[in-house]
Structure 1
Amino acid sequence: MELTGLLTAVLILLSCCYFIYSTWKTMYRKRGLPPGPTPLPLIGNLLNIKMGSMANSFVKLSEQYGSVYTLYFGLNPIIVICGYEAVKEALIDQNDDFGARGKLPTISQFTKGYGLSLANGERWKKMRTFTFKTLKDFGLGKKSNEWKIQEEAQCVVEEFRKSQGHPLNPSAMFMDAFSNILCSILFGDRYDYTDRRFKKLLFITEEIFRLTSSTWGQVQTILPTLMSYIPGPHHKAVSFSEEMVEFVAEIVKSCQQTLDLSKPKHFVDCFLIKIEKEKDDPNTEFTMKNLLYTIHNLFVAATETLSISLQHTLLSLLVYPEIEDKLHEEIDRVIGRDRMVNMEDKFNMPYTQAVIHEVQRFCDIVPFNVPHMVTKDTMFRGYHIPKGTDVYTLLCIVHRDSTQFSTPYKFNPNHFLDENGQFKKNEAFMAFSVGKRSCPGEGVARMELFIFLTTILQNFKLTSQIKFSEADVAPKLKGFLNVPIKYELSFIPR
């Protein structure tokens, strides 16, 4: 009798589970969303995503479900869009519908809609317009700010000279340099590479990115409500962000004491002037909180991605030394070795431009973009996407689209050269995203990558004791960022 009762209980339990699952599956199918793997109650498609390899999981699912499919993060549907045509249709052709920012829990649990990167609505419009204009004024529009980038590149060259050809990992040096350039634009000053507070700022920035890309961060992205109750390192992102804002607040306080309303010297000055002008407007978005959080967003978004981009570039040149030889030839012919690189040189250096673009295409620094969100109930390719649904656009698949790139899985600078060897644009290049939510600092980033790469190669030949392969340079598609393998190389003076 006891055995019979136990079997009966098990059968009832299994029947209930099957009923719940079948009911959930039927409800899920009736929503009119794109196809996708059937989610489980409460955890959604958690089991369909390999933790620690989130981007790669998205790519594999696209092979089964096509260019538009649905995943469930817990109870919430997520739309994934793949391929050049589909992403273009969403982010360019229907940019108003897909123009809001989606959730990135590791960071948004701190920013809560303030600042620039994860803001929406009127706040985002005002922060983006102001930031874009000010970054252009202090990062592109003035010769003195080009000089800041040139100066920092020379500092890196001098540090590499000190190594006397001994192998080193350049990642920390690049992080120092790109962070200093941002400090110059934001605060009007740079730091010594050994400055304790500066090193602390860089550590915080790197930790926020590491936590976002970690397995813990990926699970938090999928199940944010549940993970808010579970202890773990993902909660440290908030405390690190708080430390960064405290650091920035001290600098802003110093800037307030020296502020000249008629002569802004940097980004913070310009923002403080806007705060003063709109202080009597109860609806103003120019507040101290938005200033601090916008600077936080710029540090998180700009410094690590640039450092990673240049690390990928040098590793690629170690794998393909013939490409480095061509770059050396172009640099010697256009610039020589006795004068400083400037942005005007770029227009006479198509091969260098092509290599930089190919690195960003092939290495896919941000493989599935920062999440978007639809601003209203939207029809897309025959499917109904409800207002407020998060959307992931897989740039890593756009950059491997065989209709746009002749050898999509090969590192090939010819993707950006015409038949005459001149640089050509490719609309499928989306390293800085496209549409309303494209990176506002794209122009500054392009300038930095060009000046740094050409300055380094003007002075050094790259060598390594280790023989790297194409597999070493291929993107790993693990987390939020595609970080290259750890490596060392020697900078041999030319």
Structure 2
Amino acid sequence: MLGLRTFLIALPVCLLIVLYLKWLWSCKHYPPGFSVFGELWKIRTGLPQDFLIQWAKQKGKIFTLWIGPLPFVVISGFQAVKEGLINHAEDFVDRPETPFIKAAFKKRGIMFSNGHTWKQQRRFGQVTMRKLGLGKKGMEHQIAEEAQQLVETFAQAKGQPFDPSLPITNSVCNVISVLAFGQRFPIEDENFQKLIEALDIFSKVGSSIPQVAYEIFHWVMKHLPGPLTNFFSVLEVTLAFAKKQIENHKEFQRLHDPQDFIDFYLLQMEKAKDDPNSTYNEDNLAQCVLELFAAGTDTTATSLQWALLLITTYPDVQDKVQKEIEGVFGSSCLIFYQDRKKLPYTNAVIHEVLRSKYALLYGVARTTVKDVDILGFHIPKGTDVVPDMRSVLLDPEQWEKPEEFNPNHFLTEDGQFVTREEFLPFGTGARACIGEQLARIELFIFLTSLLRAFTFQLPEGVKELNQDPIVGFTMHPHPYKICAIPRYSR
């Protein structure tokens, strides 16, 4: 009896020792690093927004972050990210296939697929975005109309304090609706509001504790109720909404005159119906539509919310933008995206918003497709890599005043706009955001439209707005209210 009891005690101890030795052996194959759980206990007031930057100062520009038994190599700072994602772009081309990602996205669509599926879907996405008029005045007119709707909504506040976040999200979401479905939805539409609520849930799950727990204990977590159960439920509802739109398009097919993303995709399905290697199907189409909304709404809306917060906080910057716009265009002439070249200061302000208030906690993870050696470190094939894009945009080796909101980062001494290779808010390499051009057009047209119509001020009695973000995978500002004072009689 005593021998059995000793055996039952010794067995798990031996297994733990074996697992520990296996982990030590694994560590030798990765850049030096540490366990995230060994650091988190030190944090008393929540995860700081720049925790990866802080850890990089201690561990170096390339280090391994162990989440339980799972290694994630973090690449920090412009030079390291450039070496990895630009100079070795094809070596970092895959996305992770973690338990959560596989359960949520099922290797479909563009953002989290790999191999042949990813190549076909991404190529189609890039070509179709161009066909839909990005960079041309066709889509710009749609965005300008939505911007005018937002101006009308702001005007309804009659100069009184209001929260701009929901109207901004509605407007940006409707831009994607026109792109994907060929129509905008009224704000009171029940299905449209459910879609916006779903996008909010999506943004809160990424990098959350439940998601991390799912990655490590997925065989248990998938059976437990909680935030992830709600996430997967909302995911299915949203995909069902997309599939309903697909069915509507199939009923009134416009294969000879496609007008939106679904039309073009259905046309591509028809062309490829006899190709055994085709990945064009309704499941991938529904996933692509979901990604258009998830990626195209949250980050752009968040950036616009930050832009208004900063514009209100720095009235001298706001005044300078308004004077530049009036000096070039007056108060009524239409402004298009190509006109940004005539507005160097305004263009610099928009870039500085994206730099100083990066919309994500860090860049979307990649996976190495082969063994890679960068900057003296070896990263094995199949390693999940986190490019810390926040560290690039705040790199003190590249930016004069990285912690400050300073439009001069993008201006020459004589006030001309200058592009910066360190400016990478949309990612870089083979996985760079395919919606970058759309986001740039939206930010420019929305912001110039709003600043022509209003002067934004702090409510009476409010001395400042909170510039710290709510830490999540998407870095939203804390809720705030501002006053939109009409500049001209309406």
* TM-score, normalised relative to structure 1: 0.91
Provide the rounded CA distance (Å) in 2 between the counterparts of 1:163 and 1:69: 50
Q: CA deviation at 1:59?
A: 2.5
Residue of 18, 24, 27 corresponding to 2:25: 27
Deviations 1:259-296 (A, max 9, x none): 22221111111100010111122220111111011111
Call closer, same or farther: CA 1:452–1:242 in 2, change over 3 Å: same
Provide the rounded CA distance (Å) in 2 between the counterparts of 1:212 and 1:446: 24
Provide the rounded CA distance (Å) in 2 between the counterparts of 1:116 and 1:210: 21
Residue of 372, 376, 385 corresponding to 1:391: 385
Call closer, same or farther: CA 1:26–1:242 in 2, change over 3 Å: closer
User: Is 1:451 the counterpart of 2:445 in the alignment?
Assistant: yes
- Which secondary structure state, in structure 1, belongs to the residue aligned with residue 321 of structure 2? helix
- Which secondary structure state, in structure 1, belongs to the residue aligned with residue 299 of structure 2? helix
User: Is 1:468 the counterpart of 2:464 in the alignment?
Assistant: yes
Residue of 154, 158, 162 corresponding to 1:164: 158
**Which residue matches 1:86?**
80
Residue of 33, 37, 55 corresponding to 1:36: 33
**Which residue matches 1:479?**
472
Unpaired stretches in structure 2, ≥5 consecutive residues:
1-5
Residue of 408, 421, 432 corresponding to 1:438: 432
Provide the rounded CA distance (Å) in 2 between the counterparts of 1:420 and 1:223: 57
Q: CA deviation at 1:75?
A: 1.9
Provide the rounded CA distance (Å) in 2 between the counterparts of 1:166 and 1:105: 48
- Which secondary structure state, in structure 1, belongs to the residue aligned with residue 378 of structure 2? strand
- 8 Å CA contact 2:23–2:69 kept in 1: the answer is no
**Which residue matches 1:201?**
195
**Which residue matches 1:110?**
104
Deviations 1:60-89 (A, max 9, x none): 221211000011223221100000000000
- Which secondary structure state, in structure 1, belongs to the residue aligned with residue 387 of structure 2? strand
Provide the rounded CA distance (Å) in 2 between the counterparts of 1:426 and 1:367: 21
- Which secondary structure state, in structure 2, belongs to the residue aligned with residue 101 of structure 1? coil
User: Is 1:257 the counterpart of 2:251 in the alignment?
Assistant: yes
User: Is 1:245 the counterpart of 2:239 in the alignment?
Assistant: yes
Runs of 4+ in 1 over 6 A off after TM superposition: 11-18
Q: CA deviation at 1:329?
A: 0.7
Q: CA deviation at 1:135?
A: 1.1
Call closer, same or farther: CA 1:215–1:468 in 2, change over 3 Å: farther
Aligned-residue CA RMSD (Å): 2.5
Alignment of 1:407-426 (within 5 A): 407-426=401-420
Call closer, same or farther: CA 1:430–1:104 in 2, change over 3 Å: farther
Call closer, same or farther: CA 1:106–1:28 in 2, change over 3 Å: closer
- 8 Å CA contact 1:218–1:479 kept in 2: the answer is no
**483-492 or 212-221: bigger deviation:** 212-221
Provide the rounded CA distance (Å) in 1 between the counterparts of 2:102 and 2:12: 39
Provide the rounded CA distance (Å) in 2 between the counterparts of 1:34 and 1:224: 26
Alignment of 1:69-468 (within 5 A): 69-103=63-97, 108-220=102-214, 224=218, 227-465=221-459, 466-468=462-464
Aligned length: 477
- Which secondary structure state, in structure 2, belongs to the residue aligned with residue 157 of structure 1? helix
Provide the rounded CA distance (Å) in 1 between the counterparts of 2:443 and 2:98: 27
Provide the rounded CA distance (Å) in 1 between the counterparts of 2:101 and 2:449: 34
Call closer, same or farther: CA 1:140–1:119 in 2, change over 3 Å: same
Deviations 1:407-439 (A, max 9, x none): 111111111111221111111111000111100
Q: CA deviation at 1:211?
A: 2.3
Call closer, same or farther: CA 1:421–1:145 in 2, change over 3 Å: same
Provide the rounded CA distance (Å) in 1 between the counterparts of 2:315 and 2:39: 40
- 8 Å CA contact 2:468–2:478 kept in 1: the answer is no
Provide the rounded CA distance (Å) in 2 between the counterparts of 1:443 and 1:222: 37
Q: CA deviation at 1:54?
A: 7.3
Provide the rounded CA distance (Å) in 1 between the counterparts of 2:246 and 2:397: 49
Provide the rounded CA distance (Å) in 2 between the counterparts of 1:351 and 1:225: 53
Q: CA deviation at 1:340?
A: 2.7
- Which secondary structure state, in structure 2, belongs to the residue aligned with residue 418 of structure 1? coil
- Which secondary structure state, in structure 2, belongs to the residue aligned with residue 69 of structure 1? strand
**Which residue matches 2:37?**
46
Residue of 478, 483, 493 corresponding to 2:486: 493
- 8 Å CA contact 1:180–1:191 kept in 2: the answer is yes
Give the AA of the match of 1:393. P
**97-106 or 234-243: bigger deviation:** 97-106
- 8 Å CA contact 1:362–1:474 kept in 2: the answer is no
Deviations 1:330-373 (A, max 9, x none): 11112221233222321101111111111111111113111111
Provide the rounded CA distance (Å) in 2 between the counterparts of 1:265 and 1:491: 35
Unpaired stretches in structure 1, ≥5 consecutive residues:
1-7, 40-44
User: Percent identity among equivalent residues?
Assistant: 36
- Which secondary structure state, in structure 2, belongs to the residue aligned with residue 173 of structure 1? helix
Call closer, same or farther: CA 1:15–1:240 in 2, change over 3 Å: closer
Deviations 1:365-405 (A, max 9, x none): 11311111101122223333222211001111111112211
Provide the rounded CA distance (Å) in 2 between the counterparts of 1:48 and 1:226: 25
Q: CA deviation at 1:25?
A: 5.8
* TM-score, normalised relative to structure 2: 0.91
Deviations 1:281-334 (A, max 9, x none): 222011111101111111111101111000001111122111111111111112
Give the AA of the match of 1:485. H
- Which secondary structure state, in structure 1, belongs to the residue aligned with residue 206 of structure 2? helix
Provide the rounded CA distance (Å) in 2 between the counterparts of 1:287 and 1:24: 43
**14-23 or 228-237: bigger deviation:** 14-23
- Which secondary structure state, in structure 2, belongs to the residue aligned with residue 430 of structure 1? coil
Give the AA of the match of 1:237. F
